[in-house]
Amino acid sequence: MSSQNSLSDQNLSLDETAKNMTSEAKIITRNLDFFYGDFQALKNINTQIDAHTVTALIGPSGCGKSTYLRVLNRMNDLIEGAKVKGEVLIDGQNIYDKKLDINELRKNVGMVFQKPTPFPKSIFENVAYGLRVNGMTENIKERVEKSLQQAALWNEVKDHLKKSALGLSGGQQQRLCIARTIAIQPDIILMDEPTSALDPISASQIEDLIMELKERFTIIIVTHNMQQARRVSDKTAFFYLGDLEEYDETPKIFESPASEKTQNYIRGKFG
Amino acid sequence: MMTRKKIFEKIIEAVIYASGTATTIVVLLIVFFLFREGLGLFRQAPMQKTYTVAVHPQNPVRQLSIDQLKAIFSKKEKNWKTFGGKDQSIETFSSEDIEKHLKGQDLGEAFSKLKGLVTTYAQNKENLVVVMPKKFMPNKFVPIPTEHMSIGAFFGGKEWRPTSEPIHSFGVLPIIAGTLLVCFGALLFAIPTAIIAAIYLVEIANKKVRNIINPFIELLAGIPSVIYGFFGLVVIVPFIQKTFALDMGETALAGSIILGIISLPTIITISEDAIRSVPRELKEASFALGANHLQTIFKVIVPYALSGIVSAAILGVGRTVGETMAVLMVTGNAAQMPSSFLDSVRVITSTVAAELGETAQGGIHYRALFMLACVLFILTFWFNLLAEWIVAKKTQK
Ligand SMILES: Nc1ncnc2c1ncn2[C@@H]1O[C@H](COP(=O)(O)OP(=O)(O)O)[C@@H](O)[C@H]1O
Ligand SMILES: [Mg+2]
């Protein structure tokens, strides 16, 4: 109990330092290099992502988009031989600091995967999972309901919350995963191609959802769908072979990109 | 034109096909033989083949069931009135009683004088019932037709006394109950142990530790079960006896532990696979929600892998109980209905293994043991179905 309190105290002070920093920057990466063993997957990435914006990550397969995303919640820590160099600041705090509580970080930086990943539990328990493991068990029913509502899933599942989540459709499962993520009230939500495994209707439902969630969260989304990037994002980052080739306001990237590579990629994708 | 290589391939194909067919036929033949021998049990009376039952001609009783005969010869029923006869006490004479009734008399070479002596003895005893080989039956005694061993008496009988005379008891209920109890206990012991071991090996131990432990587990799988039996006898049995202050440590509990230990290597190996097959994304999703490693293990990994582990355990234990002699060494082998894990029990395999050597081929006891083997076969088959059902139920969800 006491450790939990001290953790949240720490968070408070973190929030304050963030506010004092005058800048709106939620996430900053400085000279970020990333290695899988000897292979360098990210090269000197410098980004600043502001709070309550949607950032789209685009680029050909294997260019490092997922790697970048997974640097931000330290999911790459699970991979043997993975190594990070440079600085990654969230709210001004270096998340690769040795003293940082990694579970606390991940609670603050939610993640939605490409394939829906419901746990083999009931719909209710899927959403409650993050709450339970983080000790947020007060008003659990209300929290679950609210999250499902925010994820635009409540009306479809409210009558069978006890049924297995594995029985839901792909689109419903993905919205369930979003509900599960927002239930623990993170600041940041990372989405790795969240609609690429879904049919167009489910995909557009998720897109609408992203636009709504922007009010309350900072969202970073990897997508191969250029229309989607254009519709939902404020800023777009184009990765190419581990480099951040171009990073700018979304309209700028799509209408007058500075880099020829960006232009070719976007044109190829639209063409 | 066929090249040489093609011909060679054709031959290999034919050999594989033939051996597959042959194996299938052999398996079917084994099952057929097993059941043919076993089912013969129900075409005989549960007594020695040449024996008959007979009563004095003045005794009006002409019918006695197997159960009634058992009651008579175990002296539980003492009056003919119970069976519709006269109000007189019952006297019995089976081959066991020759010593008692014909004490000190010369039976002659190859019992040549026996029939005469028995006749003299029985002549005026109206209340006498005799069970004996036909050729020694006293003159004028009226044979009573004997029923065949019934299926109900086999599966429902609570007594296994295959050598009791003159009527044998082949009730397998205590043996089946003992087998199931030992298996159930083994599962209770093996499943959590296997889960913990497999989790340790897959999720916690580093490569170095794993490389030391894995060959060790394989080694355990290769140890003959008799050696486990010794271990059980020397370590587990005395331990149980002391811990529970029993007269005798040979109990179902000891059998369960030994059976569990013997099947552990297999169960652990399969459990490891089950845990490895948990999708990486699912684990990552748990971590991404702020769960720590232990929470992820017990709330996501184990529930996901559990059905695989349980079915592995059922298969492992089901197989092992049918194969191993170690259980015979530590359970005390009393063929009685167990009421707890601290009772001595006897399992099917032990019964067949211990008794088959003493039976005459084709005799009733021999057939009863074959029938017991059929029961084991069905039980194992059922274990397999159960294991498959558990897996199927999960994938269906
Ligand atoms: N676990 C890993 N081990 C080694 N190399 C990896 C691993 N994951 C990704 N990579 C490599 O890193 C590069 C970037 O991968 P990724 O970030 O997944 O690309 P993207 O998401 O843009 O398609 C690719 O060349 C990929 O092969
Ligand atoms: Mg990717």
Q: Can you give the CATH number for the domain in which B64 is found?
A: 3.40.190.10
Report if residue B28 sits inside a domain.
no
Q: Are residues B369 and B225 in the same domain?
A: yes
Q: Which residues of A touch B304 (CB under 8 A)?
A: 119-120
Per-residue pLDDT at B392: 83
Contacts of B227 (CB under 8 A, 6+ apart): none
> How far is the alpha carbon of A187 from chain B, nearest alpha carbon, in Å?
13
Q: Following DSSP, what letter does each residue of A14-40 receive, concatenated?
A: HHHHHHHT-S-EEEEEEEEEEEETTEE
Do B127 and B228 belong together in one domain? no
Strands A82-90 and A93-94: antiparallel
Proportion of chain A in helix, strand, coil states, percent, rounded to 5: 45, 25, 30
B88 part of a folded domain: yes
| Cβ(B86)–Cβ(B80) below 8 Å | yes
The answer to whether the Cβ–Cβ distance between B287 and A104 falls below 8 Å is: no
B7 occurs within a structural domain: no
Any ligand 1 atom below 6 A from CB of A135: no
B302 chain-A contacts, CB cut-off 8 A? none
Residues B236, B267 share a domain: yes
Last residue within a domain, chosen from B119, B153, B187: B153
Record: contact A129-B304, CB cut-off 8 A: no
pLDDT digits (tens, 9 = 90+) for A86-140: 999 999 999 999 889 999 999 999 999 999 999 989 999 999 999 999 998 889 9
DSSP-derived letter for residue B324 is -
Cα–ligand 2 centroid distance for A114 (angstroms): 8
SS3 B243: helix
| B285 vs A contacts (CB less than 8 Å) | 111, 113, 117, 119, 177
**In sequence order, which residues have a C-beta less than 8 Å from that of residue B390 and are 6 or more positions away?**
B307, B310, B311, B314
Cα–Cα dist A231/A251, whole Å: 10
CB A62 less than 6 A from any atom of ligand 1: yes
Could you tell me if residue B160 is inside a domain? Answer: no
Rounded Cα–Cα distance for residues B54 and B93 (Å): 10
Ligand 1 pocket residue status of A64, Cβ below 6 Å? yes
Closest-CA distance, A267 to chain B, in angstroms, reads: 32
How far away, in angstroms, is A112 Cα from ligand 2 center? 12
Residue B396's pLDDT is 55
* Cβ(A67) – ligand 1 distance below 6 Å: yes
Three-state DSSP at A238 gives strand
Beta bridge partners of A58: A238
pLDDT of amino acid A3: 41
Give the ligand 1 atom nearest the CA of A70: 17
Atom 6 of ligand 1, nearest CA residue = A36
Mention every residue, 6+ apart, whose C-beta is less than 8 A from residue B251.
Answer: B240, B331, B332, B341, B342, B343, B344, B345
- A270 versus B152: which is more confidently predicted? B152
Residue B286 CA: distances (Å) to CA of A75, A102, A220, B134, B375: 11, 13, 19, 79, 46
Q: Is residue B44 part of a domain?
A: no
| Per-residue pLDDT band at A270 (split at 50, 70, 90) | low
Task: State the residue range of the domain holding B107.
Answer: 51-153
Nearest to B290 among A103, A117, A121 (CB): A103
If you average pLDDT over residues A163-192, what whole number do you get? 92
Q: Which of B387, B369, B254, B371 is nearest to B319 (CA)?
A: B387
Closest ligand 1 atom to residue A37 Cα is 4
d(CA B131, CA B94): 5
Q: What angle do CA A240, A241, A245 make, to 5 degrees?
A: 30
- Tell me: the pLDDT tens digits for B3-32? 888 899 999 999 999 999 999 999 999 999
Which residues sit opposite A87 in a β-bridge? A30
On whether residue B56 sits in a domain, the answer given is yes
Rounded to a whole number, what is the distance in Å from the CA of A62 to chain B's nearest CA? Answer: 18
* Cα B27 from chain centroid (whole Å): 20
Atom 26 of ligand 1, residue of closest alpha carbon: A62
A73 neighbourhood in chain B, CB within 8 Å: 288
Answer whether residue B213 is part of any domain.
yes
In a domain, B24, yes or no: no
DSSP B388: H
Q: Is A41 in the pocket of ligand 1 (CB under 6 A)?
A: yes
| pLDDT range class, residue A1, cuts 50, 70, 90 | very low
Q: From CA B265, how far away is CA B272, in angstroms rounded?
A: 11
What are A's interface residues with B at a Cβ cutoff of 8 A? 73, 75, 78, 103-104, 106-107, 110-111, 113, 115, 117, 119-121, 129-130, 132-134, 164, 166-167, 177, 180-181, 184
**Among candidates A121, A133, A181 on the partner chain, residue whose Cβ is nearest the Cβ of B291:** A133
pLDDT of residue B51: 87
| Interface contacts (A, B; CB < 8 Å) | 70
B282 lies in the same domain as B249: yes
Question: Is the minimum CB–CB distance between B391 and chain A shorter than 8 Å?
Answer: no
Arithmetic mean of pLDDT, A48-71: 94
Structure confidence at residue B395 (pLDDT): 63
Spell out, as residue ranges, where chain B has pLDDT lower than 70.
1-2, 395-397
Let me know whether B85 and B212 are in one domain. no
Walk me through the domains of chain A, giving residue ranges and CATH numbers.
2-266 (3.40.50.300)
C-alpha span between B175 and A95 (Å, rounded): 64
CA distance A248 to A246: 7
B286 contacts in A (CB within 8 Å)?
A: 119, 129, 133
Which chain A residues are within 8 Å of B300, Cβ to Cβ?
119
Distance from CA of B295 to the nearest CA of A (A): 7
B294 at A interface, C-beta within 8 A: no
Token couple for A212:
């709504």
Q: Are B232 and B297 members of one domain?
A: yes
The CA B44 to ligand 2 mean position distance, Å, reads 74
* CA A79 to ligand 1: nearest atom: 1
**B318 and B180 within one domain:** yes
Task: Kindly state whether residues B148 and B238 are assigned to the same domain.
Answer: no
pLDDT of residue A8: 42
Tell whether B306 is within 8 A of chain A (Cβ): no
Does residue B133 share a domain with residue B257? no
- pLDDT of the residue at B2: 65
pLDDT digits (tens, 9 = 90+) for A218-262: 999 999 999 999 999 999 999 999 999 999 999 999 999 999 999
| Same domain assignment for residues B194 and B123 | no
Average pLDDT over all residues of chain B:
88
Which residue from A minimizes the CA distance to B303? A120
Ligand 1 atom with minimal separation from the A61 CA = 23
Q: What is the CATH number of the domain that holds B302?
A: 1.10.3720.10
pLDDT digits (tens, 9 = 90+) for A5-55: 444 444 444 444 444 444 478 999 999 999 999 999 999 999 999 999 999
- Rounded to a whole number of angstroms, the distance from the CA of B394 to the nearest CA of chain A is 9
- Best CA proximity match to A177, nearest among A105, A127, A107, A106: A127
- Compute, in angstroms, the gap from residue A197 CA to the centroid of ligand 2: 13
Q: Does B396 touch chain A (CB under 8 A)?
A: no
B227 & B144 share domain: no
CA dist., res. B169 & res. B158, Å (int): 9
Q: Which residue(s) pair with A40 in the sheet?
A: A35
- Residues in chain A with CB shorter than 8 Å from the CB of B292 are 103, 133
Q: Which residue of B has its CA nearest to A186?
A: B289
B208 and B128 belong to one structural domain: no
**Contact between A133 and B397 using a beta-carbon 8 Å cutoff:** no
Number of domains in chain B: 2
**Mean local confidence (pLDDT), A63-70:** 95
Contact call for residues A49 and A25 (beta carbons, < 8 A): yes
pLDDT at B110: 75
Spacing, Cα A30 to ligand 1 middle (Å)? 20
Closest ligand to A239 CA? 1
Among chain B residues, the shortest Cα distance to A111 is held by B288
Put simply, the answer to whether A117 touches B284 (Cβ < 8 Å) is yes
Q: Answer for the pair A129, B286: CB distance below 8 angstroms, yes or no.
A: yes
Query: Does B284 contact chain A (CB < 8 Å)?
Result: yes
